[in-house]
Amino acid sequence: MTAFLPPAARAGSFRIYDHSASATGQASAFTAQADDASAGYYNPAGMTQLRGVQFSAGTTLIAGGFSFQNGAGTQANGDLRGSVAVPPPSNVYITANLKDLGIGSSDSTTIGLAVFSPFGTLTRWPDSSPFSTATTKAAFELIDIRPSIAFRPLPDLAIGLGADIYTFSGAFGEGQVERQFRWPGGLGIPAGTGMELNGRDTAAGFNASLLYTPLRNGDGRPLVNIGLIYRSQATLHLDGQLLAGGTRVADARTTFVVPQVLTGGIALWPVRDKEREWKLELDVDYTGWKSVRNLDTTLSNGLTIATPANWTSGYTVMVGTEYKWLNPTPLPDWDVALRAGYWHSQKAIPDQTFNPAIPDGDNHAVSTGFGFMCREHGKFLGVIPCGGSDKALSPKGLGIDLAYQAILYEGRTVAGNVNPTVNGTYRTTLHVGSINLRVNF
């Protein structure tokens, strides 16, 4: 029996990389660009590039499935508890330049608040699968509340600092970690009984970031940006229950270490003038999964369920581009952006401790997307004025970003697992659709 940490899969085990459509369209190669409110996630130091108050809210729809076949030819198919994962990972960002709020005389300081889903998704396998004693359903619905501040100690250097408050909320799904499985027998519980392990906790970490601009054009806009962000690890003590057929058997606790993450990127603008902008970016992301050494569960009846993990740290390489038309003749008072990207991500979970609740594997993602931002005398959806008013808190810009991403996992054959029923070949394909609405004040 394995511990109750779930589910599957985005890049890098079950870490979610996509936290705004503007970044998803570039395969999340956004650390060095970070020029909209989603900088609150990708690189808070980038908030110093934003004027006034900027707001963004969006969601990510994930569809797809998993397949399994063992050496005997037995097959099973899994999904995200439906055709689309519900609830979908979502995000909200707000940033405010302090001078534009009337606080102080320097425009070099910006504060922000971000709320997003850093880890998790949903998995479901049939009760008839060969590994039903390992998992049938799993969920991990963690949210991160991140207040941050960014400032420029030098004209070309920005620094960001923030807290990461990891927690669970009933407003977002079950509001807990949860894994369901079939009991293999023993301890007076009939074999085949539906079991559930669940838990929740709140923990805190921190993040630090920088954005360095060594080269600008004649208008002072970046031609080269270098971005870096460090996210610390945090420890969740997941307190919950072990249930058999819906009845409490014992209280349960599992400790999970949210890994430290280091991401760096460089962005180049070969073209950046008053009519067009073309950006190319390369990001490299390191996730310290080696901190997940075991997922042992301690029960209140004195039993301990030993669950080795021995996950390995890994890298994700992301390449993205954005081509933007500024005030094009057919759409005056609008900016139009076209985006594309690719990433490659390494698996974190070894064969020996693999669990189908997290069908992890090396994967590739291809992305595309576009964005529209209207200002001044433009009208959003042809109806809503996008700006032109001098009134306080009147919108100065309205925008929408859309993106599509296909995540293609390499086929993975698991052998030598501590639970032989999970040995076999796994294949996973996910489809991601992302949308964000933006308002600049």
User: Helix, strand or coil for residue 116?
Assistant: strand
Place of tokens 């208008």: 219
Measure CA 185 to chain center.
37
Residue 7's pLDDT is what? 37
Centre a 10 Å sphere on the Cβ of residue 218 and count the other Cβ atoms it contains: 7
The residue-averaged pLDDT of 314-319 equals 97
CA torsion sign, 321 to 324 to 330 to 333? positive
Nearest CA-CA partner of 357 in 170, 153, 140, 47 = 140
Q: Is the pLDDT of residue 129 over 90?
A: yes
Measure CA 158 to chain center.
24
- Residue 165 β-bridge partners: 145, 204
Q: CA 66 to CA 409: how far, in whole Å?
A: 10
Number of H helices, E strands in the chain: 2, 26
Q: CA 283 to CA 392: how far, in whole Å?
A: 38
Nearest CA-CA partner of 76 in 441, 378, 423 = 423
The more confident residue out of 337 and 118 is 337
Q: CA 16 to CA 9: how far, in whole Å?
A: 8
The predicted-structure confidence for 374-401, as pLDDT tens digits, reads as follows 988 888 777 888 877 777 667 889 999 9
Fold of 21-440: Porin (2.40.160)
DSSP letter for each residue of 283-344: EEEEE-GGG--B--EEETTS-EE--B-----EEEEEEEEEEEEES-TTSTTEEEEEEEEEEE
The predicted-structure confidence for 203-260, as pLDDT tens digits, reads as follows 999 999 999 999 999 999 999 999 999 999 999 999 999 999 999 999 999 999 999 9
Residue 6's pLDDT is what? 39
Widest CA span in the chain: 77
Locate 428 and state its tokens: 């996973």
Residue 370's pLDDT is what? 97
Alpha carbon distances (Å) from 78 to 74, 203, 306: 14, 31, 26
> What percent of the chain is predicted at pLDDT more than 70?
96
For 12, which DSSP code?
S
Residue 104's pLDDT is what? 78
| Reported confidence tier of residue 13, pLDDT bands at 50, 70, 90 | low
For the chain, the average pLDDT equals 91
* pTM: predicted TM-score of the whole model, two decimal places: 0.91
- Whether 299 contacts 243, CB under 8 Å: no
User: Helix, strand or coil for residue 41?
Assistant: helix
- Whether 1 contacts 180, CB under 8 Å: no
Residue 353 amino acid letter = T
The predicted-structure confidence for 411-424, as pLDDT tens digits, reads as follows 999 999 999 999 99
Residue 15 amino acid letter = R
Q: Is the pLDDT of residue 2 over 80?
A: no
Q: CA 332 to CA 328: how far, in whole Å?
A: 6
CA angle 114, 262, 7 (to 5 degrees): 70
The predicted-structure confidence for 25-66, as pLDDT tens digits, reads as follows 999 999 999 999 999 999 999 999 999 999 999 999 999 999
The predicted-structure confidence for 63-122, as pLDDT tens digits, reads as follows 999 999 999 999 999 998 877 888 888 999 999 999 988 887 778 999 999 999 998 768
Centre a 10 Å sphere on the Cβ of residue 275 and count the other Cβ atoms it contains: 12
- Whether 109 contacts 97, CB under 8 Å: yes
The predicted-structure confidence for 271-311, as pLDDT tens digits, reads as follows 999 999 999 999 999 999 999 999 899 999 988 888 889 99
Q: CA 353 to CA 293: how far, in whole Å?
A: 10
Q: CA 118 to CA 209: how far, in whole Å?
A: 17
Residue 169's pLDDT is what? 85
Place of tokens 């993040």: 207
For 189, which DSSP code?
B
Q: CA 428 to CA 68: how far, in whole Å?
A: 9
Locate 37 and state its tokens: 């409110």
